[in-house]
Structure 1
Amino acid sequence: MKYRTFLTTLALFLFSFNLGIVIISIATFKDTVHRAEEKSLGEHYFITSALLKDFHAVESRGTDLDSSLPSLLQPYSYFSPDKKVKLALYKGNQLVYANRQEIPLPDSFAEPPKDGNRLVSMQRSDGRTYVVVSGKLPAPYDFYTMVYLYDTTDVITAWERMKNMLFFAGLLLSGLFALGLLLLLTRIFKPLSQISQISRNIAAGAYDTRLPVSGHDELSEMAQSFNYMAEEIQRQIQQLEAAAQQKQQFVDNLAHELRTPLTAIYGYAEYIQKVVRTEEDKLLATSYIMSESRRLQNIAYRLLDLATLRENKIERRDVRMEQLLQGVEQAMSIKAAEQKVRIAYEHHFDMLSCDVDLMHILLVNLLDNAVKACSPGGVIKLVADLENGRKVIFVQDNGKGMTEEHLARITEAFYRVDPSRSRSGGGAGLGLTLCQQIASNHGAELSFSSEPGKGTTAKLTFASSV
């Protein structure tokens, strides 16, 4: 373990240290190039501005401009006494003046943009490095192109020497650090026999046992390692318990959600078997049975996704509100008819981006609770509307209603407003818990308002971008 710690620490140090040197070198190089480019741009601007005045003066005297170019440009040849600056003047693509030997340039530098922008680049030629600035003279001399070359070879060479010195110094410092680290770890890592018994106790299941940590010697290091081990074991046990609870929750949710489609399937099958209807009616009932069967499959897949995906990602697509609300109403129509409750739905926007199957589950659960709360002759409204620029869907009934105490807890798993209601009649107490989870996955807010004797309103508010 000593050598593993030594190698890991040394590797991290070497990586961090050399990464720092590389970052410093790159930053220094960029700063060097930037300053050279800024200097070149400034001097190019100065020369072109002065040359423009000279051109005006020559033309005002009636002298031919092309024949005067060498004499006009000659003074600028001494702009840099150390001969690091080279000038070239192009007329169109033709070189008309150069104060030094010509350096091959890309075609774009002989013909820079005509919008007044200048080209700046680093070029290498004959083992030398240059900053090249190319730009057209202002109108009416914009058919001339001034190319300015600044020799930065010495600056780049100085930077390379500095970079090499940094890496050499880093190599020496890394060697000293490695030697010191090896001596330190040799002193720290010693046999720790007294911890063996405590480690066996922890391995036997005494997870709450912790070793005292004091000082910075080998005992404290081993104590920290064993304490971390015990904490990890406890954490994993808690995760296993949570996973088991989630699986049970999944089974309960699945059983709860299978009931509504199965009820619809059974109702339509009984309708076909016992009622004399036309072939068209039977075909329609068969379509509903097939639709609900497919929904059973989708429900199983979606609940599995919600139980297993940590990020709770859902697959959204645009759905027509008329189709969604009609499907929800059809799924609850038989149960509503049995309770002599009427369901009325309407919509004031056309499309909704959502996971269709999960949204169907949510609305069916809300309608199911509303049907249970209503007395015969009750009315349930299922409305999709716009409120302050946001899409909302609400389910409103005129049933028995709830008190504030019950209203605050109705989304808790297995909570019942009426404890005396049987499971077969009142459900498993998971419907609204699942509705809350589905709403959260859609970035929506599920809220409830109720008053005893006047009914309950469940409201689903979406984000404005939905």
Structure 2
Amino acid sequence: MKKRAFFTTLILFLFFLYAGITIMSAIIFKDKVGVIKERCLAEHYVIVSSILKDFQALDSRGVGIEESLESLMHPYSYLAKGNDMGLAVYKSENLVYASINKENLADINTDSYKEGQRYITIKDDDKPFVYVAGLLPAPYEDYALVYRYNIAETINSWNQLKNTLYLAGTVLSICLAFCLLILLNEIFRPLKQISDASMGIAAGEYEKRLPVSGNDELAYMAQSFNHMAMEIQRQIADLNEAARQKQQFVDNFAHELRTPLTAIYGYAEYMQKAVISEEDRLMSCGYIMSESKRMENMAYQLLDLAMMRNHQIKKEQVEMETLLGSVYNTIQKKACEKEITVTCRCQMDCVTGNAELLESLLVNLIDNAIKASEPNSCIEVKAYQEDQVKVLSVRDYGKGMTERQLQHVKEAFYRADKSRSRKEGGAGLGLSICEQISQLHDAHLQFVSGLMEGTEVKVIFTTL
């Protein structure tokens, strides 16, 4: 495209430049020739006037004109010869005097000056000449004077000027071609940068960016391209992260599924092939039912996750006192079994959301807190408003988590304490469900934890 623009612009410029030079040269030539013609006509008139006086003088002395014509014209021819000019005199159609070759007079049109008009023409035999022919005034209208003027010097001067203009045009064209090439390189440089950056992005170099300088359209284009590249990089990163999480989800799911299936198959095979007592049979059946129940819980939790993705919920005003009371009744039995005290404190009236989902959210968070706590410890549940933002908080004083564990705690099937969770039947889906519920309520989860310092989980609502 750059070559096409270069050659197209250059050809158009050369066409108009040389057309302009040609037209200008033609105008200058016409002007010079016009000036010369006017000069020749004036000089012809002066010579005719002078000859007329000489003819009158001869007549007054009674001397014949034709006998004295040679001597009469000699001074004029002498002067004309010095300037490479020439004179010729006709009487009727007969040439009676000439300082010019007769061959050069062959094409002189006598019809025009016979009618009283002066005739002027340009002939280029060996040299370019202007010929002016005209009749003498009465009573000598039988005589006609032809005056020849050499315009070779004028033509040569015009040719030099024309050649100078063409030479200057050629030099100017070369300079223009060089400047045009530099200009096009500067104009097309951003396009080449865009092309290189686009190819780099297509090859996976998503950090490619264009330099932004100035405040013109190219700068705006570079900013738009960089914004597009940044969005592409972000989306690719999101897709890679989503793919990683999906693969991890599948791997974890396969691992979680394998454990109960292995136990179920092992106990079933033991019951089939071994001679066992009634007590062993009941124990094996109990393990089979326990693992089956864990698989059932996992299936229900996965179903909850699937149903909540891209799902719009019906929201209404939920009374916090009622919600916390319902949550307390649900988790009280499990907390008492582990000798853990759960306290609820409500400092706000209501929140906009779905009561069932919010109850599930708090139950999951408190259940995780119970699993992380030691006997005779306390769990604090609070609902309050902070800096015009509504917050639900669950605080325990259990084992806590490291910074690395906090980074993955909301991932499906992730468990900070794998042995404890599996022993208690957890599949690592509770916090993933909590995250989904929070997003449906325009809220986000915030974790504050430290090893042996306990964990506080806050559900922060971004809208009132």
Q: Same fold (TM over 0.5)?
A: no
After TM superposition, the score normalised by the length of structure 2 is 0.41
Which one has the largest radius of gyration?
Answer: 2
After TM superposition, the score normalised by the length of structure 1 is 0.41
Structure with greater helix percent = 2
